[in-house]
Amino acid sequence: MSSQQAGGRVLVTGGAGFIGTTLAREIADSAEQWVVVDNLHPQVHPGSEPPADLPDAVDLRVGDVTSAEDLDAVVADLRPDTVVHLAAETGTAQSLSESTRHGMVNVVGTTQLLDALTRAGHVPSHVVLTSSRAVYGEGLWRNPDGSTFQPGLRTHAQLSAGRWDHGDRAAHVPNSVTGTHPSPINVYGATKLAQEQILAAWTGSHDTRLSVLRLQNVYGPRQSLSNPYTGIVSLFSRLAREGQSIPLYEDGDITRDFVYIDDVVSALVAVIARKPADHMRTVDVGSGVRTTIADLAREIARYHSAPEPHVTGQYRDGDVRHASCTVEDTVRQLGWEPRWSLRDGVAELQEWIATQLD
């Protein structure tokens, strides 16, 4: 990596997590300073211990983004050139049952970060936010006659009756920044959209640059194996390793775009290296491939010679039926492209899990 790819002083919130650790291993050495603020939450970090493979170049400050005191101490000392805002509570189901927690970390944590910068009298040259495909909600759907509509959430009554789709013959259109209006249907998605809007307002008022990456379903090595609310790929992997049949919610035909961690990190590296020409740039980051949950489960089961996955008819309130994206605009803007196939990514994850559990 060239020294220009990170450069300067970099502050990474939530930087001891899955994405932050992998990003640091890629470019922390090229920064003048790489400072991480992370509260090492036990849901992600068992025993509240930092990851063993966090690079030596990382200056880890244990602190919470909801704490003004914790952020003031770091921001005033570092005065970062680049802020990479990864800190967030994730998990659709958990956000419905712990809405305050998600609001505090994702929304108040973002405003606390901005207030700390204001109190320090400092404006970074570039703020980078990892947002989520959850901001799109159910996205855009197309009828057989070519007309389109953007449905609201599937109600509990609809799901309990087993009516999974929005119309018998309507099809989901892959999400895109330019083609899909954000319309989140769960608390988590709403807080991620709020992050985008808050940061857009603050950076616009301070004449600085903002990059937003709307990530699809990220998976790969260093993903938490103990967090029950995130990481369907790691959950399926553990079940298949134990010789169990993987349970499939709804009818198994839920679709997602599974993007391997190295492709996400290479997109972040490209974004950090290329500040947007104008105030704000928003891009979709995924594999560009739509995969059913059943096909994912079969791929993982095949690797472990596990039993065939089985449909349970269970469902989760607040889940979307389909989520995928187009990446052509991202490729054009960043000179980036996803390189990992699902089969190769799944195999790499299984090898890593074996090193953690065997």
User: Do residues 321 and 254 make contact, with C-beta atoms less than 8 angstroms apart?
Assistant: yes
Provide the token pair at 242. 């134990």
Pairing of the two strands 148-149 and 82-85: unpaired
How would you write 274-294 as a 3-class SS string?
A: CCCCCCEEEEEECCCCCEEHH
Helix, strand and coil in the chain, % to nearest 5? 40, 20, 45
Q: Give 33's strand partners.
A: 9
**Does 188 qualify as catalytic in the annotation?**
yes
Catalytic residue among 188, 219, 229, 315: 188
Q: Give 256's strand partners.
A: 291
Read off φ and ψ for residue 178, nearest 5 degrees.
-85, -20
- Helix then strand count (H, E) for the chain reads 12, 16
Provide the token pair at 304. 């472990």
Residues marked active site are found at 188
